[in-house]
A and B are shown apart, each in its own frame.
Chain A
């Protein structure tokens, strides 16, 4: 069983858009063909670079939402108000458009079946994923990969979304996922509601005694609050890894 190569000099590659489809009203899924792509591990991200005809250049980072088993790369892009790049990627980009892409990036915020096969002691510890909004993107890759390879590692996701229409990647989420809706819930909703707090973490995530490996991803305010609360609940800070998505606005 081959491991994905993760160490190779990063060059800018040419990404061609295969599809741009609306996943939810605010988030589009871009499906990309990237010749020369070397493979990736779930959790890694890419840098996207856009050069306009006027010479203006902008770069942003996006988590890979597709698992390494899928040859096309999937990105989930949230349209940010006043954003410079995201409205272009969600509203403008169409099939056969091109931009530059560099990756895969990062070995800190990754989980893979092969790593767990190698390190049995760590593999006994469950994996807890905590996501805020579009921060679920790297976890979509992790869950999809986990299911395709039928991993025995226990994995759970606690996922905070504003409302049911904004829940991403429903085709990948399964019984391991708990969704909480923070703004409104549909009639008959029997899941969690409200922001994730200490009580919900205690109810819905692996407890400290199980020594979970925890990944938190979402806007900075969310991610830091989750990490702080988990530590307050007795989790080992060194077992918590965070990926911050910044504020909900792009830098000017």
Chain B
């Protein structure tokens, strides 16, 4: 039994749009900032990116080394589990394929780790095959800290919580290791087109 309040509603037009996954709305020019914790302010000189396996560090790039890697420009739609979608967001970054190209591995899964302790897990195949990037530029400007700068993961085909902000580490694993939200009732995979928001969806 809910009490309906006269005249209240979200009021956002929701035309049928095949670019919108189920349950989402177009946030237009906005780009909401959501966070589970304080923004890290680690000096750039200490913002390295590493690839690990279960036991060792396999690759490391300092910030300068990362910036020197070949970057691509991409324009993608992104979808947040809190229901906003943003069309045509513009980014620049390094394809994860490029980061992993000289890393021999039989790993099946990845745990992405952020400065500040956030983690999220993905199958390795969702980070490769041209489906994921580590990005440092948004809308032509350096990625701001509140949106994950200096560099974040970008995985547009999954809900945006998988695009870990303040990315510092990719750990290659032979098992799946649920991350921060996945251990708190959020879906382990997170496909917006199948509306996989929560575990059990």
Contact = CB atoms under 8 A, between A and B. Distances in A.
Between B3, B10, B30, B32, the greatest number of chain A beta carbons within 10 A of the residue's beta carbon is seen for: B3
A56 B3 contact: no
B3 A88 contact: no
B161 to A, nearest CB: 15
A51 B7 contact: no
A14 interface: yes
Nearest to A96: B6
A100 B3 contact: yes
B27 interface: yes
Between A54, A58, A93, A98, the greatest number of chain B beta carbons within 10 A of the residue's beta carbon is seen for: A54
B10 A52 contact: yes
B27 to A, nearest CB: 7
A84 B3 contact: no
B183 to A, nearest CB: 24
B10 A51 contact: no
A118 interface: no
Interface string A49-89: 01111101110000000000000000000000000100010
A100 B84 contact: no
Given A56-B10, A252-B27, A252-B84, A51 B5 contact: yes
Interface string A1-34: 0000000000010100000000000000000000
Contacts of B16: none
Contact of B7 (A84, A92, A252): A92
B30 to A, nearest CB: 6
A252 B32 contact: yes
A100 to B, nearest CB: 5
Given A98-B3, A100-B2, A88 B84 contact: no
A51 B7 CA distance: 10
A88 B5 CA distance: 10
A51 B32 contact: no
Nearest to B80: A252
A97 B3 contact: no
A54 B9 contact: yes
Given A252-B32, A252-B84, A53 B9 contact: yes
A88 B10 contact: no
Contacts of B7: 88, 92, 97
A191 B9 CA distance: 43
Contact of B3 (A51, A54, A93, A252): A51
A14 B7 CA distance: 17
Contacts of A92: 7-8
B145 to A, nearest CB: 16
A52 B4 contact: yes
A51 B9 CA distance: 7
A99 interface: yes
A98 B5 contact: yes
Nearest to A99: B5
Contacts of B27: 252
Between A52, A84, A98, A100, the greatest number of chain B beta carbons within 10 A of the residue's beta carbon is seen for: A52
A251 B7 CA distance: 21
Contacts of A53: 4, 6, 8-9
Interface string A214-252: 000000000000000000000000000000000000011
Contact of A14 (B3, B9, B10, B34): B3
Between B5, B10, B30, B84, the greatest number of chain A beta carbons within 10 A of the residue's beta carbon is seen for: B5
21 contacts: A51-B2, A51-B3, A51-B8, A52-B4, A52-B5, A52-B8, A52-B9, A53-B9, A54-B9, A54-B10, A56-B9, A56-B10, A84-B10, A88-B7, A97-B5, A97-B6, A98-B5, A99-B8, A100-B2, A251-B34, A252-B32
Interface of A: 12, 14, 50-54, 56-58, 84, 88, 92-93, 97-100, 251-252
> Which are the 4 A-B pairs with shortest beta-carbon distances?
A52-B9, A252-B32, A52-B8, A56-B10
Interface of B: 2-10, 27, 30, 32, 34, 84
